[in-house]
Amino acid sequence: MFNKRVRIKELLSNESANYQATVMGWVRTFRNSQFIALNDGSTNNNLQVVASLGDFDDAILKRLTTGACIKVEGEVIASLGKGQKVELKASSIEILGDSDAEKFPLQPKKHSLEFLREIAHLRFKTNTFGSVFRVRHSLAFAVHKFFNDKGFVYLHTPIITASDAEGAGEMFRVTSLPLDGTAPKNEDGSINYKEDFFGRSTNLTVSGQLEGELAAMAFSDIYTFGPTFRAENSNTTRHLAEFWMIEPEVAFNDLEDNMNLAEEFIKYVIKYAIDNNKEDIEFLAQRLEEEEKQKPQNERNEMTLMEKLDFVVNNDFERLTYTEAIEILKESNHNKKKKFQYLIEGWGADLQSEHERYLVEKHFKKPVILTNYPKDIKSFYMRMNEDGKTVAAMDILAPGIGEIVGGSQREERLDRLTQRMNEMKIPAEELNWYLDTRRFGSCPHAGFGLGFERLVQFVTGMGNIRDVIPFPRYPKSAEF
H-assigned helices in 119-195: 127-149
CA 234 vs. chain centroid, Å, equals 17
What span, in angstroms and rounded, lies between the C-alpha atoms of 397 and 401?
A: 8
Tally DSSP H helices, then E strands, for the chain: 14, 16
Pairing of strands 368-374, 318-321: parallel
What the chain holds in terms of domains, given with CATH numbers, is 8-108 (2.40.50.140), 125-171+206-467 (3.30.930.10)
Residue 334 has what pLDDT?
92
pLDDT at 478: 87
Quote the CA–CA distance of 202 and 182 in Å, as a whole number: 19
Q: Which of 257, 395, 253 is nearest to 318 (CA)?
A: 395
CB atoms within 10 A of CB 187: 6
Alpha carbons 69 and 71: distance in angstroms, whole number? 7
Residue 443, pLDDT score: 98
CA quadruple 6, 10, 11, 17: dihedral sign: negative
The CA distance from 292 to 313, in Å, is 23
Tell me how far CA of residue 126 lies from CA of 48, 99, 305, 464, 478, in angstroms.
17, 16, 20, 17, 22
Given this model, what pLDDT does residue 82 score? Answer: 79
CA–CA gap between residue 22 and residue 93 (Å, rounded):
10
Residues 6 or more apart in contact with residue 49 via CB below 8 angstroms: 23, 35, 36, 37, 38, 72, 74, 87, 88, 90, 93
pLDDT string in tens for the chain (480-residue length) = 678 999 999 999 987 899 999 999 999 999 999 999 999 999 999 999 999 999 999 999 999 999 999 999 999 999 987 778 999 999 999 999 999 989 999 988 889 999 999 899 999 999 999 999 999 999 999 999 999 999 999 999 999 998 765 555 589 999 999 999 899 999 999 999 999 999 999 999 999 999 999 999 999 999 999 999 999 888 788 789 999 999 999 999 999 999 999 999 999 999 999 999 999 999 999 999 998 888 887 777 778 899 999 989 998 999 999 999 999 999 999 999 999 999 999 999 999 989 999 999 899 988 999 999 999 999 999 999 999 999 999 999 988 878 999 999 999 999 999 999 999 988 888 899 999 999 999 999 999 999 999 999 999 999 999 999 999 999 988 888
| pLDDT for res 163 | 77
**Neighbouring C-alpha atoms within 13 Å toward the C-beta of 41:** 13
Sheet with 160-161, side-by-side order of all strands: 160-161, 202-204, 173-174
Q: Roughly what angle, to the nearest 10 degrees, separates helices 209-219 and 432-439?
A: 30
Residue 159 CA to residue 151 CA, distance in Å, equals: 25
Angle at 396 between CA 392 and CA 397, to 5 degrees: 135
Rounded CA-CA distance 477/89 in Å is: 45
- The candidate with the shortest Cα–Cα distance to 402, out of 458, 326, 453, 318, is 458
Query: What's the pLDDT score for residue 1?
Result: 65
* Bridge partners, residue 30, by sequence: 36
pLDDT at 176: 96
Strands 221-229 and 153-154: parallel
- pLDDT at position 3: 82
Judging by DSSP bridges, how do beta strands 47-50 and 69-78 pair with one another? unpaired
In degrees, rounded to 5, the angle at the alpha carbon of residue 464 between the alpha carbons of residues 351 and 107 is 175
Question: What are the distances in angstroms from CA 358 to CA 14, 71, 238, 258, 269?
Answer: 46, 52, 17, 24, 25
DSSP string, 246-278: EEEEEET--HHHHHHHHHHHHHHHHHHHHHH-H
